[in-house]
Structure 1
Amino acid sequence: MASKLRRVLVAVLLLLVAAAGYGAWYGSDQAVGVVHYGQSNTMVLSAQPGAVTLTDTPDTRKPGVYWLEWTGSFTMLGPVTARRDGRVTRTVLRGHLPSAGTPGWFGDVPPGDPKVAWDIDFSEIAVPTELGPAPAWYVPGRGTTWVIAVHGQNGRRKAELKVLPVVHELGLPFLAITYRNDEGAPRSPDGLLHLGASEWRDLEAAVRTAQRMGARRFVLYGTSMGGAVVGQFLTHSALAGTVDRVVLDAPMIDAGMTNEQGARKHGLPPFFGLLVSQVITWRTGVDLDRLSLIRHPPRVRPPSLVLHTVGDADHPVREARELAATGARLGWDVRLEEFPDGGHTEAWNTDRPRYDRLVRDFLSTR
């Protein structure tokens, strides 16, 4: 009987270990796996001048400004005006009207390129990185201070276009870059994201390219994992001293905290995030602790504006708060602005006037 019980206990233990191992691998894949997009997440039920009705989902009913994209076109949607019987109706702010029955992608980032999104002229340039050429959008401006925008994990450069109208209004040249493993950019040797640990070198290549085009000083704008890329650039790059200011939107500041948040998001205890971190290190060779801008602040610390929604389910606002506390301790000017509504990187969507004002004032003040 005792021998049978031991076998049962061993079998249960092995099952638990296997489940934990699978879960940790899955969690690591959410952090460093490369994903390319192209699906739909809603359906147009009806459309009329000034209004579009979509299937009711947690996304399509969000308050604020969002976009609906479908094959070859888009519309910018404003507030919800009606919601019943599985249908959500929103105002149309700009763009085209879709036909009923059209599948589309409802999201929080602008569609297309600067011309499509905001009717702002641009050119496509190639940044020569150490792995090969990476495409970037260049919007010309006045002067020699450029804004370089870095998107987040498995994102696209169009995600950085939210800030473009303010940057363009201020007359600053703007460069939205791609980096290794992006669509159209070179693949990394292992085909995995490194959470900023290697991607910062592609940002450095973009800074060098901008210098050859006449740039002298820089504002770095990073969203989500783009914040980690900016942080590692400020830590390691010989060009970090050319950065005058930094704007971070929902940045990844501490990957360990992010992984703990991911565990909670999936109903798992926070310590499971530690297992995920260990698997990431095993798969990539990256020491996640060294990426923490809280425990290891960057070598160069320009004035930084951090914009973060309180309800961010991907990068908890606690990361931003602890970064601000670190800044206060070190005499590093870190200005945290919290937004009460919205999810990850949705501060602009929920309160565009405030977001634009904060960025405009931050970039205008000398």
Structure 2
Amino acid sequence: MSGAQRWRRIVGRRWSRRVATVGALAGTGVATLGVAASTAAAVTFARHVVTPARHKPDDLEILQVGPHRVVFSRTPDSVVPGRYGVWTDGGRGHFRVGEVLEDVAPDDGKGVRPRAEGRVTRELLGVDAGVPRPGPARWNQYYWAGDPGRALGLPHVELLVPGEVGPLPVWDVPPAGRPDDADEADGAGGADWAVLVHGRGATREETLRALPLLHRLGLHCAVPAYRNDADGPPSPARRYGLGGTEWHDVHSVVQHALDRGARRVVLVGWSMGGAIALQFVARSPLAAHVAALVLDGPVVDWRDVLDHQARKNGFPVGLGRYGMALLGHPWGRRLVGVDSPVDLSQMDWVRRAEELSLPVLLVHSAADDYVPAGPSRRLAEARPDLITYVAEDRARHTKEWNVDPRRWEDEVEGFLTARLGRG
């Protein structure tokens, strides 16, 4: 049986014709490999992009543990200065580390001794769960672990806010000096809210780094899980919309804030959380209540990100673009299995720069090898009247706070003080 015959048996003649039509949108990569093989590869690529990763493998080794220091295998993450968290025991254990005390590069193997792997020694700042011991571990930028109460000592309530596809778990963190159940409609002290939106495949813990500052500035903070998170409601397809669907969940949380008396809202987003925030201000009828955006390592052009990821992982860029075309096509999106077409052109904010109407603080590191900073920089250059751009050159993806917490907090505080009159 030929490849074309096997393909028709799988998808049927009608679908074969439809896929060929979509394939024509992607250009030479499809023509070179053939519709069946290239479509299978493109579907795999696209599904990987929109499928939540429930299990993340360990990515480094703990080699030694002392009273005030930990020795790690040398990785691209473990050598970068700053403060970070480390998960152990499949996520059941967690501790925090600080600055690099010693960095030993790998032996080049040219000497008499066998090749030696590199190692990095960092200061041990605190243990949140479990007991650090040698073995596999996973690095994280969250630094803190748990909920706002356990990690930071901030009073909070776990709410369930009605959402489009189901109840949304939300950490509700009232501002300093205000009880959890205070009526905020009667004064300006609690009238400003911040909604904090984490990135793709992350958890609400990603936002914990920002909460102490926002709490200190008197903002009432809401930290939602959104659809297809581990603790969020599933959509019918159980796949991400890359911001094109998740903004509805932010809409629900902003409506909750307005119902509680909020007058102005700040959206704070990391990575895909930035894409979600931008879709909200472009598409939600509640966007008029947003006073400003704070975006950290945001996705402002998905096509640029996916081209980069294809090249980084040795995947043909042409097939990656075919996968992008499938995501947005009425027929192709069914092969990928998303709830509705994902229109990546609507998420290209470099192209849509003139549509922005809100002040934006945009923090992005040139060393970000997951979401390249190029589109963020070009967006800032296109709208210097609205965008305050904060460049960094050492931090990896969404780790700008980790490398320099004081600078990150000073930039955010200065920006919000100017826009909201707080400080």
TM over 0.5: yes
1:4-47 deviation line (CA, Å, top 9, x unaligned): xxxxxxxxx88666654344223212321121236433343322
Number of positions where the alignment pairs a residue of Structure 1 with one of Structure 2:
351
Q: Which residue of 2 aligns with 1:134?
A: 168
Judge conservation of contact 1:261–1:273 (CA < 8 Å) in 2: no
Change in CA separation of 1:215 and 1:298 when aligned onto 2, cut-off 3 Å: farther
More displaced 10-residue stretch of structure 1: 255-264 or 76-85: 76-85
| Structure with the greater alpha carbon radius of gyration | 2
What is the alpha-carbon distance in structure 1 between the residues aligned to residue 56 and residue 373 of structure 2? 29
Q: Which residue of 1 aligns with 2:381?
A: 325
Q: Which residue of 2 aligns with 1:62?
A: 80
Judge conservation of contact 2:366–2:372 (CA < 8 Å) in 1: yes
Q: How does 1:150-189 map to 2 (within 5 A)?
A: 150-189=197-236
**Secondary structure at the counterpart of residue 81 of structure 1:** strand
> TM-score if structure 2 supplies the norm length?
0.77
Change in CA separation of 1:18 and 1:111 when aligned onto 2, cut-off 3 Å: farther
C-alpha root-mean-square deviation of aligned residues, in Å? 2.2
What is the alpha-carbon distance in structure 2 between the residues aligned to residue 243 and residue 263 of structure 1? 35
Q: Which residue of 2 aligns with 1:194?
A: 241
Deviation (angstroms), 1:272: 4.2
Deviation (angstroms), 1:169: 1.8
More displaced 10-residue stretch of structure 1: 334-343 or 101-110: 101-110
Judge conservation of contact 2:65–2:134 (CA < 8 Å) in 1: no
What is the alpha-carbon distance in structure 2 between the residues aligned to residue 354 and residue 258 of structure 1? 26
Which residue, 153, 161, 180 being the options, matches 1:119? 153
Change in CA separation of 1:18 and 1:80 when aligned onto 2, cut-off 3 Å: farther
Judge conservation of contact 1:224–1:345 (CA < 8 Å) in 2: yes
Judge conservation of contact 2:46–2:320 (CA < 8 Å) in 1: no
Q: Which residue of 2 aligns with 1:100?
A: 133
Structure 2, unaligned runs of 5 or more: 1-30, 105-115, 176-188
Asked if 1:315 corresponds to 2:371, the answer is yes
Change in CA separation of 1:343 and 1:18 when aligned onto 2, cut-off 3 Å: farther
Q: Which residue of 2 aligns with 1:4?
A: none
Q: How does 1:240-255 map to 2 (within 5 A)?
A: 240-255=287-302
What is the alpha-carbon distance in structure 2 between the residues aligned to residue 88 and residue 18 of structure 1? 47
Matched residue type, 1:325: E
Asked if 1:77 corresponds to 2:133, the answer is no
> TM-score if structure 1 supplies the norm length?
0.88
Structure of greater relative contact order (alpha carbons < 8 Å, 6+ residues apart): 2
Asked if 1:44 corresponds to 2:59, the answer is no
Change in CA separation of 1:347 and 1:30 when aligned onto 2, cut-off 3 Å: farther
Deviation above 6 Å: which 4+ runs of structure 1?
none
1:320-342 deviation line (CA, Å, top 9, x unaligned): 012113324xx5x0111110112
**Secondary structure at the counterpart of residue 343 of structure 1:** coil
What is the alpha-carbon distance in structure 1 between the residues aligned to residue 228 and residue 274 of structure 2? 17
What is the alpha-carbon distance in structure 2 between the residues aligned to residue 14 and residue 340 of structure 1? 39
